[in-house]
Structure 1
Amino acid sequence: MKKQKNRRRRKSLKTEMPREKRNMEVRKSTRNYKDIKHFSLTPEELERLKEAVDDRKKLIQVLRGKPWPMKKKLVTLRESQQFVEKYEGALGKGKGRKLYVYKVMMTKKWMKFQRDFENFRTACIPWEMKIKEIESHFGSSVASYFIFLRWMYGINMILFGLTFGLVMVPEALMGRPYGSIPRKTVPRAEEASAMDFAVLWDFGGYAQYSVLFYGYYNNQRAIGWLKFRMPLSYFLVGVGTVAYSYMVVIRTMARNANESGVGDDNSFNFSWKVFTSWDYLIGNPETADNKFASITTSFKEAILEEQESCKDDNIHLTRFLRVLANFLVLCCLAGSGYLIYFVVRRSQKFALDGLENHTWWERNEVNMVMSLLGMFCPMLFDVISALENYHPRVALQWQLGRIFALFLGNLYTFIIALMDEINLKREEENIVKFNITTWEASFYNGTVSENSTGLPFTVQPADVPRGPCWETMVGQEFVRLIISDTMTTYITLLIGDFLRAVFVRFLNHCWCWDLEAGFPSYSEFDVSGNVLGLIFNQGMIWMGAFYAPCLPALNVLRLHVSMYLQCWAVMCCNVPQERVFKASGSNNFYMAMLLVILFLSTLPAIYTIVTIPPSFDCGPFSGKKRMFDVIQETLESDFPAWFSKVFSYASNPGLDQTMSGAQCQKLTKNLAEQNDVFLASVHTAEPSAVQPLCIYEQNRGRKLRHEVTCTIIQFILQHFYTWKCI
């Protein structure tokens, strides 16, 4: 009877007392247990002990966010851990409690595995620690460039895998060997100089007649014992790389918009930075120095943001200076455009006279002028931007826009020059066709004596006349442009950053003025110029990869070397910017420019594929009227007749445009309905409920992106079918 009364009393205490008091009671009652193995607890006591252990575990998880002094946090953490370790094993005593012990053990092991896997995943991210170190010393704006470079490296690795695994390797292993047919043989007139360094540096000679360029590939439908469809694979890889690039860029932009769409609470910004910035788990002195530099940089960023928000300048003077700066920028753009046009016209005259009769500079004048303009014009724009007095983030976007216009004008001027060169090559191709017909007729009309015992007359592949192959010429021009731009960038880095830093460092003590504070001083890292260089190099890769499958491999090598070289240069030769800023929206701004360049780069490639007939004696599409005829040929040869009819009906321009328009309209309508729902929730909610408004703005941005994407898709479909009809 006495035991039953005690049980009832404990049960009533359990229902009446708050959880904190019950925890205190369990703690007091368990303090007297010297060894819990010698005691048999009642089911009620075990239940209370289990609840107490669970409460201590929850307290350990949320202890970091408690508004308690650090001493109290440490004492509570130590007591809670000891309590859990001491009494958690007691819950496994008795019948039916082994499952609980097993669950607790597996939970601990799973948490440890998650922590180890997260550390392993972080360690596997390429160059993560290098970028973190740069961010701690130079701020997030400089680190955003290296994050963008790492992202571009990953994209180019995928493109390299596609072209190398599905185009270059099958042709090298299963295709006809070198010297078997004319398109895979160096002409007899070029054999003497085919291995010269100057020829190979211009990607001529043996480099031209290799798997690096379009003209080497044979037009045989199936090659090797696998019956690999080389022309079909070449065409699908070219289309697939562009489609994959579109998908990745748009998805990355959407993910960045979703992550930055919901606003955060910026109240008490400096208090949060002062009291919560330090990481107390740091045990390495070097890591502590990096963290100290990172906190200092974040304070500079926050102070600058506050100063910019409170600035009150003379608005009329500011407007005049900004108009003057834009006028100077327009003059620079017009001058660079005229210079490129003049150089292109000179190069066409040199081509008509014969490039072998001119110097190295005259042969490479276009590439060198474009590289030099890309190197010096951003510096001039940076000097002009000092007149405008913009916020650093806004100034970076203006600088990016101006360099974007410069590079875009240079690139399209280069493309116009290539189009003129293609027309000249096609005229030369018609002449070669006539000469080949005459050359072949001379063999048929020849006479041989019946009593002749000599060897039969054979023609070596090196002696066969051949056309100019305008596709290989286009690929060579893009490869030369990439190589010259890369060399210019590295030379500028070594001279403009390294030698400048050495000069300032070792001659400062014996110079007439302070070299560090005055001219020339240490250089700052040019974020805008380097970002635009990456973007436009990638645009040239997308534009020329169809005619030079080696371009993704060259770009992977270039990005790999650039990461190490620029990380070393920025840490050893550069100083942090005087006006640092937080690059909150810069990554998506980079992606927007990359998407525009992707669209503008694919237009010339699509135009040449759809409208210009391929060369008659080189490349996988020789002998066809258009390059995309390989799709129709595959459908007719490898698929049943009904499938070809279904595909022709499905590729009807009217059906495709109708379906794409209906899908885009449906997406836009759904987003508009979501906006209306969230806007209604904003009107009915309290003034402090700002979350629906953030989601409304986010969905409005999504709607705008969907409308732009739909317009681009319909534009491509319309012009594709127009070119197809032509």
Structure 2
Amino acid sequence: MPSRTIGRCKGAMLSEYYNRTVRRRQSKKRPSLYTMDRSARPSIRQMDEVADGEEEHQRLLVMELQKTSGTQRIRLLKSFPLNLQVKRELRTMTLDINSLWKNANPCCSSITDCIGMATHKCWLSFLSLLCTLRPWHLALKQIGGRFGSSVLSYFLFLKTLLGFNIFMSLLCLLFIVTPQAVHPHNTSNPRSFTSLEILTGAGYFTDTVMYNGYYSNITLNEGCSPGHNASTCPDAKPAWLPYHIPLAYLFTIGLVFLSTCIILVYKMSCSFGDSFRVGFFSGALALKVFSSWDFKVNRIRCVQRQKENINMQLKELLSELRTDRRPDLRKKMQTVCIHVFSWTLCLASWLGSAVAVYVLSEHLYKDNRARMNSETDLEVEAKLLLLPSAVSLCNLLLPYLYHALGLWELLDSPILEVYIAICRNLMLKIVILGVLCYHWLKRKANHSEYKCWETLLGQEFYRFVIMDLIFNLLDTLFGEQLLRLIQQKRHKNKKYRTEFDIARNVLELIYGQTLAWLGVLFCPLLPVIQTLKLLLLFYVKKASLMRNCRSPSKPWRASHMSTVFLTLLCFPSFLGASVFLSYTVWSVTPSKSCGPFRSLNTMYEAGKLYVRQLEVTNPRLSWISWIHHYLWENTLFIYVASSVLL
């Protein structure tokens, strides 16, 4: 074959050229001619013959290279066993004007190559721009390099919650708030804005799209609404698919929870796969030492950040290899006694918090009923802040007690210390929210003196979210600053800083997200408020972290922390909110005078009523009633769908 002949010819010329080049290098290393005898000196004629032979082989090799295309020529030059200087000389010799003109590609081909290269360059620039546009990319790298992966896991978890709330906000705004805002109804007694509504959520906000009680139970794109007389619009044609506000309200909330469940389960599975991977590579320390530096980094600021990041990661990896001595019997008995006392004190705090919240809520409920008509609206709204303030104060002070108990226990493992603190804070949140949910469903949802209990519950959730934000900001801006000053006074060191309490801050995020999930049925704009709250918390927490906190004294690699956070978010938080809302939709009777589910026995009946009306007004859509009857109300189908989802 001709190609094989050319290949062998190139190989022969290349080997000969390489051998002659090596011999020429070796000849340069020979001793000087002055140190040799006259008879042993080589003749000038022999040197000329060797040089002529080298030039001939070099010329033949250049001619062969000129016959190839540009891409093939570059590939061949890279594969030659020559040094870089010789390769440059060969490339310069092959770039002859005549050969370039002879082997030049057509005009269209060069234009296509230029367009392709420009497109590829634009695509790479776009990808780099997307990387820089990722929210908080540089801030997260700075936090991870300075404080380690344990503190970074908190901010990554906050970013995850922000994504959930943005998704919920978009769905609620598109399918619930916007249709009702486009078709508002007139309020009988509009209230003036007094600025106290920002804290209480009552007053001016009561008759707005913020709460469930404002929404109507009509069909928007129907020829005649249910409240109209049929004689006023006899020629009205039914819409292809009427937009029924009660059904849209119920389906949107269901879609929010279903989508959140799918995304949450998917993120949990990915996190479990990353954290508990089978056959995990054990040479991570050697890989981090020899292969972790990015040589493309050239800015001083980026270099410093990368040095801090690698330094912290090496400390975390070395902390896992550290082996501690086993304590003696006396030390073990002392540790057991301390743990028993600590857990007894924690149990007492949980029971005391539950009793205090229940007694205060019952007292405020009875006092509100007794003085409902004797006080002004301003005094009533001011008293509404007592219960959220008391609960937020309890959530603020007791975690400091748990943190002090953790310091007193002197646990050797920082991971175990964080897990115990998370467990104690989690039990506190569960107890408080359980008592509050019982109070809301028992006292407000089942009493007829409240004309619109959905709006009252929406206002309660709004106040709890706002109070939680205020107390978080006060704790971050003043509490951590005061704690740092106390520690500096104690240690007599002006540069002393405290450590970031991961467990307390993470449980605060889970508590706030649980409130958002519980209240989205009664306050459709609550996810928007929660989104703004998380945005504000990120920047405030980051500023306080840089100013008041230091890196952990015992560096540890938080490889499983994100998995633990997502698990706590899923099972106690999301599952509890789903059970609460499911019970409300299927069992609690809606208000008779307000809301999209008025005059219904349960909220779930809105779907049945819509299907019946659809069969009468639009027979073409009778297949929807078939789906509702044989699939949606079929227990076997729901069981199979739940099994597939889980």
Q: Counterpart of 2:552 in structure 1: which amino acid?
A: Q
| Counterpart pick for 1:655 among 632, 636, 642 | 636
Are residue 401 (structure 1) and residue 423 (structure 2) matched? yes
| Counterpart pick for 1:582 among 557, 569, 589 | 557
Q: Which residue of 2 aligns with 1:372?
A: 393
Q: Which residue of 2 aligns with 1:170?
A: 179
Q: Counterpart of 2:321 in structure 1: which amino acid?
A: E
Are residue 207 (structure 1) and residue 231 (structure 2) matched? no
Q: Distance between the aligned counterparts of 1:350 and 1:338, measured in 2?
A: 18
| Counterpart pick for 2:524 among 549, 565, 579 | 549
Q: Distance between the aligned counterparts of 1:144 and 1:138, measured in 2?
A: 10
Q: Distance between the aligned counterparts of 2:597 and 2:501, measured in 1?
A: 44
Q: Which residue of 2 aligns with 1:482?
A: 465
Q: Distance between the aligned counterparts of 1:110 and 1:88, measured in 2?
A: 27
Q: Which residue of 1 aligns with 2:41?
A: none
**Structure 1 residues 200 and 488: alpha-carbon distance in aligned structure 2, compared to 1, 3 A threshold:** closer
Q: Which residue of 2 aligns with 1:636?
A: 612
**Structure 1 residues 395 and 513: alpha-carbon distance in aligned structure 2, compared to 1, 3 A threshold:** closer
- Would the aligned equivalents of 1:214 and 1:475 in 2 still touch at CA under 8 Å? yes
Matches within 5 A, 1:25-44: 41=65
Deviation string 1:682-722 (CA, Å, 9 cap, x unpaired) is xxxxxxxxxxxxxxxxxxxxxxxxxxx64xxxxxxxxxxxx
Deviation string 1:223-246 (CA, Å, 9 cap, x unpaired) is 699964322221111111111111
Q: Distance between the aligned counterparts of 2:91 and 2:559, measured in 1?
A: 43
Q: Which residue of 2 aligns with 1:52?
A: 76
- Would the aligned equivalents of 1:137 and 1:576 in 2 still touch at CA under 8 Å? yes
Are residue 288 (structure 1) and residue 303 (structure 2) matched? yes
**Structure 1 residues 342 and 54: alpha-carbon distance in aligned structure 2, compared to 1, 3 A threshold:** farther
Q: Counterpart of 2:584 in structure 1: which amino acid?
A: T
| Counterpart pick for 1:127 among 129, 136, 150 | 136
> Cα distance, 1:201 vs. partner?
3.2
Matches within 5 A, 1:101-112: 112=121
Q: Which residue of 2 aligns with 1:495?
A: 478
Q: Distance between the aligned counterparts of 2:315 and 2:268, measured in 1?
A: 28
Q: Distance between the aligned counterparts of 1:477 and 1:302, measured in 2?
A: 47
Aligned to 1:529, what secondary structure does the other structure show?
Answer: helix
Deviation string 1:237-282 (CA, Å, 9 cap, x unpaired) is 111111111111111112223334244423372x444433433333
Are residue 149 (structure 1) and residue 164 (structure 2) matched? no
Matches within 5 A, 1:50-199: 51-52=75-76, 55=79, 112-176=121-185, 178-179=186-187, 182=188, 185-186=189-190, 194-198=192-196
Q: Which residue of 2 aligns with 1:540?
A: 515
Q: Which residue of 1 aligns with 2:263?
A: 248
Are residue 600 (structure 1) and residue 576 (structure 2) matched? yes
| Counterpart pick for 2:8 among 7, 11, 16 | 11
Q: Distance between the aligned counterparts of 1:43 and 1:334, measured in 2?
A: 89
| Counterpart pick for 1:335 among 352, 365, 371 | 352
Q: Counterpart of 2:413 in structure 1: which amino acid?
A: H
> Cα distance, 1:638 vs. partner?
3.0
**Structure 1 residues 351 and 46: alpha-carbon distance in aligned structure 2, compared to 1, 3 A threshold:** closer
Q: Distance between the aligned counterparts of 2:95 and 2:271, measured in 1?
A: 44
> Cα distance, 1:553 vs. partner?
1.1
Q: Counterpart of 1:648 in structure 2: which amino acid?
A: H
| Counterpart pick for 1:469 among 449, 452, 461 | 452
Are residue 229 (structure 1) and residue 266 (structure 2) matched? no
Q: Identity of paired residues, percent?
A: 20
> Cα distance, 1:171 vs. partner?
1.2
Q: Which residue of 1 aligns with 2:316?
A: 301
Matches within 5 A, 1:612-631: 612-631=588-607
Deviation string 1:155-205 (CA, Å, 9 cap, x unpaired) is 1111111112222222122232x33xx5xx44xxxx5xx533445632222
- Would the aligned equivalents of 2:445 and 2:588 in 1 still touch at CA under 8 Å? no
Q: Counterpart of 1:121 in structure 2: which amino acid?
A: L
- Would the aligned equivalents of 1:238 and 1:546 in 2 still touch at CA under 8 Å? yes
Q: Distance between the aligned counterparts of 1:322 and 1:43, measured in 2?
A: 83
**Structure 1 residues 10 and 222: alpha-carbon distance in aligned structure 2, compared to 1, 3 A threshold:** closer
Q: Distance between the aligned counterparts of 2:92 and 2:459, measured in 1?
A: 70
- Would the aligned equivalents of 1:328 and 1:384 in 2 still touch at CA under 8 Å? no
Q: Counterpart of 2:629 in structure 1: which amino acid?
A: S
Q: Distance between the aligned counterparts of 1:156 and 1:323, measured in 2?
A: 40
Q: Which residue of 1 aligns with 2:39?
A: none
Q: Which residue of 2 aligns with 1:384?
A: 405
- Would the aligned equivalents of 2:193 and 2:203 in 1 still touch at CA under 8 Å? yes
Q: Which of 217-226 and 417-426 deviates more?
A: 217-226
Q: Which residue of 2 aligns with 1:217?
A: 215
Q: Which residue of 2 aligns with 1:564?
A: 539
Deviation string 1:84-111 (CA, Å, 9 cap, x unpaired) is 8997999987569669978976775566
Q: Counterpart of 1:344 in structure 2: which amino acid?
A: S
Aligned to 2:598, what secondary structure does the other structure show?
Answer: coil
Q: Distance between the aligned counterparts of 2:637 and 2:502, measured in 1?
A: 42
Aligned to 2:207, what secondary structure does the other structure show?
Answer: coil
Q: Which of 641-650 and 224-233 deviates more?
A: 224-233
- Would the aligned equivalents of 2:217 and 2:597 in 1 still touch at CA under 8 Å? yes
- Would the aligned equivalents of 1:231 and 1:630 in 2 still touch at CA under 8 Å? yes
Structure of greater Rg? 2
- Would the aligned equivalents of 2:10 and 2:64 in 1 still touch at CA under 8 Å? no
Deviation string 1:305-345 (CA, Å, 9 cap, x unpaired) is 222x4443347344454444333322222222222222223
Q: Counterpart of 1:299 in structure 2: which amino acid?
A: L
Aligned to 2:351, what secondary structure does the other structure show?
Answer: helix
Q: Which residue of 2 aligns with 1:266?
A: 282
- Would the aligned equivalents of 1:53 and 1:87 in 2 still touch at CA under 8 Å? no
Q: Which residue of 2 aligns with 1:412?
A: 434
Q: TM-score normalised to the size of structure 2? A: 0.78
- Would the aligned equivalents of 1:149 and 1:534 in 2 still touch at CA under 8 Å? yes
Aligned to 1:139, what secondary structure does the other structure show?
Answer: helix
Aligned to 2:205, what secondary structure does the other structure show?
Answer: coil
Q: Distance between the aligned counterparts of 1:244 and 1:171, measured in 2?
A: 23
> Cα distance, 1:389 vs. partner?
1.1
Q: Which of 639-648 and 240-249 deviates more?
A: 639-648
Q: Which runs of 5+ in 1 are unaligned?
A: 60-71, 430-467, 665-708, 711-726
Q: Distance between the aligned counterparts of 2:209 and 2:140, measured in 1?
A: 36
**Structure 1 residues 216 and 512: alpha-carbon distance in aligned structure 2, compared to 1, 3 A threshold:** closer
Aligned to 2:204, what secondary structure does the other structure show?
Answer: coil
Q: Distance between the aligned counterparts of 2:492 and 2:514, measured in 1?
A: 42
> Cα distance, 1:513 vs. partner?
6.1
> Cα distance, 1:555 vs. partner?
0.5
**Structure 1 residues 124 and 268: alpha-carbon distance in aligned structure 2, compared to 1, 3 A threshold:** closer
Q: Distance between the aligned counterparts of 1:88 and 1:117, measured in 2?
A: 34
Q: Which runs of 5+ in 2 are unaligned?
A: 23-53, 224-238
Q: Distance between the aligned counterparts of 1:537 and 1:547, measured in 2?
A: 16
**Structure 1 residues 402 and 288: alpha-carbon distance in aligned structure 2, compared to 1, 3 A threshold:** same
**Structure 1 residues 553 and 40: alpha-carbon distance in aligned structure 2, compared to 1, 3 A threshold:** same
Q: Distance between the aligned counterparts of 1:329 and 1:566, measured in 2?
A: 27
Q: Distance between the aligned counterparts of 1:335 and 1:81, measured in 2?
A: 82
Q: Counterpart of 2:569 in structure 1: which amino acid?
A: L
